[in-house]
């Protein structure tokens, strides 16, 4: 599933192809994504100039001159740039055709992705209201985590994956960040003190930055924005490594189910 680093890498990869370009039209081959693609999309986008690409949580936001296209990659979506006359494949549901003769093409086999239109500020869209701070921005602090978790019995790993505490941290990066911070994934969030949350904030940022640098990770069939073949798999510290040795203490990495998701941790390094 594309997580924050994959969306950020997509944004960085697409920007040089899209910024400043004018949209000729949109081609919608299948309207039935997670939410219906607007019927009037071709008319809404025609002639508009792409001013900038931004990201909020796992949403990619395309500034079309005051109105915005909102993309979400769902479980299996990817965006790439192709010559506009490239024949579409089975799951190529939406093209945004630019006047330069290229198309931004959404490929999404499982159709949990989204292409939405917001005529005003994207922060007003109902999907983007009430999102927690971005983990890489300054509003995300140890105090924010500490204050929001007092009295909470839920495991810290589950809360990290909840968009009300911090947005865009999914299963892989929650596991990796908790290892870096030395915090057991099952620990009750309310029983973690502020100094340990300071370590966790640093760990989340370091983990996400490393993943963005590596070009993202979790989607096997991801194709780079410029059309070149996919991401290489990252080396993880604990994720997917149950039964292997910890790189720090050589104890055996364990896995447990927490909130119906797999948690991986080192019993020597994480408490």
Name the site residues for Zn ion (rule: CB under 5 A): 246, 248-249, 266, 268-269
Which residue do the tokens 């009295």 mark? 151
Instruction: State the minimum distance, in angstroms, from the CB of residue 235 to Zn ion.
Output: 16
Q: Which residues partner with 76 through β-bridges?
A: none
Instruction: State the minimum distance, in angstroms, from the CB of residue 108 to Zn ion.
Output: 38
Query: What 3-state DSSP class applies to 264?
Result: strand
Is 254 known to be catalytic? Answer: no
Is 56 known to be catalytic? Answer: no
Instruction: State the minimum distance, in angstroms, from the CB of residue 156 to Zn ion.
Output: 18
Is 153 known to be catalytic? Answer: no
Residue (69 or 183) nearer to Zn ion, CB: 183
Residue (259 or 268) nearer to Zn ion, CB: 268
Tell which residue, 134, 255, 141, 147, has the closest CA to residue 200.
141
Q: Which two tokens stand for residue 235?
A: 């080396």
Residue (16 or 267) nearer to Zn ion, CB: 267
Q: How far apart are CA 3 and CA 1, in angstroms?
A: 6
The radius of gyration of the chain from alpha carbons, rounded to an integer in Å, stands at 20
Backbone angles phi, psi at 59, to 5 degrees: -95, 135
Instruction: State the minimum distance, in angstroms, from the CB of residue 179 to Zn ion.
Output: 8
Residue among 2, 122, 135, 185 flagged as catalytic = 2
Residue (114 or 246) nearer to Zn ion, CB: 246
Q: CA–CA distance from 70 to each of 24, 47, 54, 117 (Å)?
A: 18, 18, 10, 6
Instruction: State the minimum distance, in angstroms, from the CB of residue 82 to Zn ion.
Output: 45
Q: In 10 A of CB 249, how many CB atoms?
A: 10
Q: Which residue is nearest to Zn ion (CB)?
A: 246
Is 3 known to be catalytic? Answer: yes
Residue among 22, 152, 254, 261 flagged as catalytic = 261
Residue among 3, 6, 118, 176 flagged as catalytic = 3
Residue (39 or 271) nearer to Zn ion, CB: 271
Q: CB of 242 within 8 A of CB of 175? A: no
Residue among 48, 55, 56, 58 flagged as catalytic = 58
Instruction: Catalogue the active-site residues.
Output: 2-3, 58, 261
């Amino acid at each position: 599933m594309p997580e924050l680093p994959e969306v950020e890498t997509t944004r960085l990869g697409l920007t040089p192809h899209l910024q400043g370009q004018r949209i000729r039209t949109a081609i919608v081959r299948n309207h039935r994504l997670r939410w219906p693609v607007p019927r009037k999309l071709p008319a809404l986008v025609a002639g508009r100039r792409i001013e900038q690409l931004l990201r909020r949580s796992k949403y990619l936001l395309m500034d079309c001159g005051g109105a915005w296209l909102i993309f979400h990659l769902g479980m299996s979506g990817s965006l790439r740039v192709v010559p506009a006359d490239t024949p579409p494949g089975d799951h190529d549901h939406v093209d945004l055709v630019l006047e330069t003769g290229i198309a931004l093409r959404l490929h999404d086999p499982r159709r949990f992705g989204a292409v939405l239109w917001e005529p005003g500020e994207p922060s007003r869209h109902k999907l983007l209201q009430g999102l927690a701070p971005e983990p890489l921005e300054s509003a995300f602090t140890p105090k924010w985590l500490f204050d929001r978790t007092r009295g909470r019995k839920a495991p810290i790993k589950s809360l990290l994956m909840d968009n009300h505490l911090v947005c865009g941290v999914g299963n892989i990066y929650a596991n990796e960040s908790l290892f870096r911070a030395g915090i057991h994934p099952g620990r009750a969030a309310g029983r973690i003190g502020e100094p340990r949350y300071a370590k966790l904030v640093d760990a989340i940022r370091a983990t996400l930055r490393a993943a963005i640098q590596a070009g993202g990770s979790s989607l096997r069939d991801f194709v780079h924005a410029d059309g070149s073949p996919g991401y290489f798999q990252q080396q993880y510290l604990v994720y997917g490594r149950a039964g292997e040795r910890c790189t720090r203490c050589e104890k055996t990495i364990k896995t447990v189910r927490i909130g119906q998701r797999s948690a991986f941790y080192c019993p020597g390094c994480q408490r």
